[in-house]
Chain A
Amino acid sequence: MAEDMTIVSYLAAGGVLTNPTNVPPRYRAELMKLMATFVDSELAGAAGFADVINAGPGIKERIAAAKIVLEKTDNADRVLRVMAEFGVDADRYASHHPWTARLERDADIGMSRSDHDMRLSVFNYPLDGWVDSVVMNVLMSRAVVIQLTEFSLISYQPLAEAFRTILPVETRHAELAVEGALKLAQKGAASDMQKSVDYWWPRVAASFGSGASNKAGALKDMGLRRSTNAELKTRWEVEAATVLESLGLKRP
């Protein structure tokens, strides 16, 4: 049997890795980065949203918000468990960092991340009350669904499986966000909502990373990416604009 295939050519041919023992070093680094980005974003997102639960106008809204906080934390835990198989101290990881920390609302950091965690840049901005949080969730949850759909097919099987479990949960969060937004729109909050759309749209768009990533080819060969940043971002722009339209809002 031809057993002389290298891991690199196996991956380039669409092969799948299944445990830490046969993961090459550069693959390991990119995979860890991807997982850290997801975990940090979920933990920071949940921590930020937790503060908003009490701002919910009714009990249904508070339940939805609390559910989202709980489930995002749970999703972080799922991926953290995959990281733990690579030697990460999961308990310390979750508690070593102030996940609620935010920058100023008008800070302009583009796509850059803070020095000490890997959360997507968008999670460094503070939420400003209930309406703002709902709008942020409408836009960001769409982005998360698009990213997760992409990453559900990556070449590290345990992570692909974790993402496939997480995807329907995050999809439900996107639906909850739209339901909440619809209520607000019906109550005549449209102009406040549009202000938040104008604020969050470019920041969520930036979370897709730069269009000209010089690593895209290498990531594709490793089976860690299929689409480019630009393709994912375009997909999001189309889908998010459609959602906004259904709410009587428009993209900036």
Chain B
Amino acid sequence: MARFHDLTVTDVHKTIRDAVVVTLQPVNGAAEEFDFTQGQYLTFRRDFDGEELRRSYSICAGKDEGILQVGIKRVDGGAFSTWANEELKVGDTIQAMPPMGGFFTALDADSSKHYLGFAGGSGVTPVLSILKTTLAREPKARFTLVYANRGVNTIMFREELEDLKNLYMGRLNVIHILESDAQDIDLFTGLVTQEKCAELFKRWIDIKTVDTAFICGPEPMMLGIAAALRDHGLDDAQIKFELFASAQPGRAKRKTASGDAASSANQTKAAITLDGSTQTITLPKDMSILDGALENAMDAPYACKAGVCSTCRCKVLEGEVEMVANHALEDYEVEKGYVLSCQAFPLTDSVTVDFDQ
């Protein structure tokens, strides 16, 4: 299983008012594990008031820059991104798992492909990593980036993109679409919708020459672009998505402490929520929560029944259970109240569990 490593912060700088670019250096000989592929992301963890938060941010560096760098945009109410933007400084140590994700295609130095990237706001970070790497390693490749932002002052990496255009003269084309700032060409103002893409494909982008498209942005934008690409003949294998839901939960609530810890009989009343409905069942304390649910004709999810696969994960909201084996959940999940229902036996006279959380 992937494990967290220490990384030292070697540089922090603002790219726009509310986004930082953080350069990291793996320590303790972990450099090899952080050898990333363009377009991958890092998952960080940090304690906030005794509760662990994990957040994933895409790498924005290209393969040939010799550095590990991520872009972090501050999200309203987001504990991690606010901390990174306001408090993180050079010399700090931060923990992350090795790079993950499959938002890339294999490179081939001899190919002369035309790539099309779509980025919305901070969704540009992995696309930037991809375009830098691709243009450096595929000398005959072309890259067109359609980059959507609210206004000129919220464009991350604007100057860097200008520099890249000069460096790769004629091979990199960047089309900025701004939601609120007017531009010379009407088409470049507004949202990137399916209709807007269709217009772009008419005169600005030769969609027939496109081999692969990369999309990273908010959900509605991804849907619109994907629909337009399919309309214009691209199949699913040619369209690569990366989605970091804008609604990554700010902070999970802690498990409620149980009221009745003492046990009298050998029976437990379990309130089990599954697919939006709650059923209260009685089960003996030597029966797992999962078996109890299954015996009562609830369609609870499971696979291995050996505490390995985590398909049967549920959350304990009230009461106590004991897990006899756990090869799948990590400490922070257990702390939040998650258990493997196939391995969880009730300790208290009543428990409340939820498979929908």
Is B275 interfacial (CB-CB < 8 Å)?
yes
CB-CB under 8 A from A158, the residues of chain B are 102
**Contact (Cβ within 8 A) B357 A92:** no
Contact with A along B239-274 (1 / 0, CB 8 A): 011111111100000000000000000000000000
Contact with A along B37-76 (1 / 0, CB 8 A): 0000101000000000010100000000000000000000
In the complex, A18→B223 CA distance in Å? 14
In chain A, what residue has the closest Cβ to B333?
A: A87
| A interface with B by C-beta (< 8 Å) | 1-3, 5-7, 10, 13-19, 21-22, 25-26, 28-30, 32-33, 36-37, 40, 83-89, 92-93, 96-97, 115-118, 152-153, 157-158, 160-161, 164, 215, 218
Please, how many angstroms separate the alpha-carbon atoms of A152 and B353 in the complex? 34
Residues of the A chain whose Cβ atoms lie less than 8 Å from the Cβ of B150 = 1
Query: In the complex, A158→B100 CA distance in Å?
Result: 11
A selection of 9 A-B contacts at a CB cut-off of 8 Å is A15-B219, A19-B41, A22-B243, A29-B355, A32-B301, A32-B311, A33-B303, A93-B309, A96-B306
Give, as a whole number of angstroms, the nearest-CB distance from A26 to chain B: 6
* B26 contacts partner chain A, Cβ-Cβ < 8 Å: no
Residues of B close to A84: CB separation below 8 A: 1
A16 is contacted by which of B148, B226, B299, B302 (Cβ under 8 Å)?
A: B226
A2, B220: Cβ atoms under 8 Å? yes
The answer to whether A26 and B275 have CB atoms under 8 Å apart is yes
Q: Which residues of A contact B301 (CB under 8 A)?
A: 29-30, 32-33
- Given known pairs A19-B41, A26-B355, A218-B275, the reply for A87 and B330 (CB within 8 Å) is yes
Indicate if the CB atoms of A96 and B304 lie closer than 8 Å.
yes
Q: Which listed residue, A1, A16, A17, A21, touches B179 by the CB 8 Å rule?
A: A1
Q: Is A29 in contact with B311, judged by CB distance below 8 angstroms?
A: yes
Smallest CB separation, B83 vs chain A (Å): 18
Q: Is the CB of B243 within 8 A of A15?
A: yes
Chain B: CB-nearest residue to A82? B102
B356 at interface (Cβ–Cβ under 8 A)?
yes
Q: Which of A3, A18, A32, A37 contacts B101 (CB 8 A)?
A: A18
Q: Closest chain B residue to A85 by CB distance? A: B100
The digit string for B326-351, where 1 denotes a CB below 8 A from any CB of A, is 01111001000000000000000000
Give the interface residue-count category, chain B: 35 or more
Q: Please state if B1 and A2 are interface contacts (CB–CB under 8 Å).
A: no
Q: Which residues of A contact B302 (CB under 8 A)?
A: 33
Question: Is there contact, CB below 8 Å, between B299 and A215?
Answer: yes
Q: Residue-by-residue, is B199-231 near A (CB-CB < 8 Å gives 1, otherwise 0)?
A: 000000000000000000011111100110000
Distance (Å) between the CB of B252 and the closest chain A CB?
12
Q: Whole-angstrom distance between the alpha carbons of A60 and B219 in the complex?
A: 51
A157 touches B355 (CB 8 A): no
- How many angstroms between the C-alpha atoms of A118 and B329 in the bound complex? 20
- Contact residues in B for A15 (Cβ distance below 8 Å): 219, 222-223, 243
The reply to whether A5 and B327 contact each other, CB–CB distance below 8 Å, is no
Q: Looking across the interface, which residue of chain A has its beta carbon closest to that of B276?
A: A26
Min CB distance B221 to A, Å, is 7
Task: Tally inter-chain residue pairs, CB-CB below 8 A.
Answer: 139
A-B residue pairs, 6 tightest by C-beta: A36-B303, A29-B301, A22-B245, A32-B311, A10-B219, A5-B219
Report how far A25 CA is from B333 CA in the complex, Å: 13
Using A1-B221, A33-B303, A157-B102 as known contacts, say yes or no to A92 and B311 having CB atoms under 8 A apart: no
Q: A97 to B56, Cβ gap below 8 A?
A: no
B328 neighbours in A (Cβ, 8 Å): 87-89
Q: Which residues of A contact B312 (CB under 8 A)?
A: 29
Chain A residues closer than 8 Å to B241, beta-carbon distance:
16, 18, 157
Cα(A73)–Cα(B311), bound, Å: 21
What distance in Å separates the Cβ of A36 from its nearest Cβ neighbour in chain B?
3
Cβ contacts under 8 Å, A152 to chain B: 236
Contact of B304 among A2, A13, A117, A160 (CB under 8 A): A117
Alpha-carbon gap, A3 to B121, bound state (A):
11
CB of A93 within 8 A of CB of B56, answer: no
Q: Report the separation of the CA atoms of residues A21 and B55 in the bound assembly, to the nearest whole angstrom.
A: 8
A14 to B225, CA, bound (A): 12
The reply on B237 being an interface residue by CB < 8 A is yes
* A7 in contact with B245 (CB, 8 Å): yes
Task: Scan B261-295; emit 1 where CB is below 8 A from any A CB, else 0.
Answer: 00000000000000100000000000000000000
| Cβ contact within 8 Å between A115 and B305 | yes
B174 interfacial contact with A, CB 8 Å: no
Give CA–CA (A2, B309) in the complex, Å.
36
Instruction: Report if B298 contacts A (CB, 8 A).
Output: no
Closest to B192 in A: A1
A-chain residues with CB within 8 Å of residue B222 when the two chains form the complex: 15-16
- List A contacts of B54 (CB < 8 A): 21
- Determine if B310 is an interface residue (Cβ-Cβ < 8 Å): yes
Chain B 317-331 interface mask (CB, 8 Å, partner A; 1/0): 000000000011110
Bound complex: CA of A3 vs CA of B101, how far in Å? 23
Contact status of A18 and B308, CB under 8 A, knowing A1-B121, A1-B191, A88-B328: no
Q: Compute how far the CA of A32 lies from the CA of B312 in the bound complex, rounded to whole angstroms.
A: 9
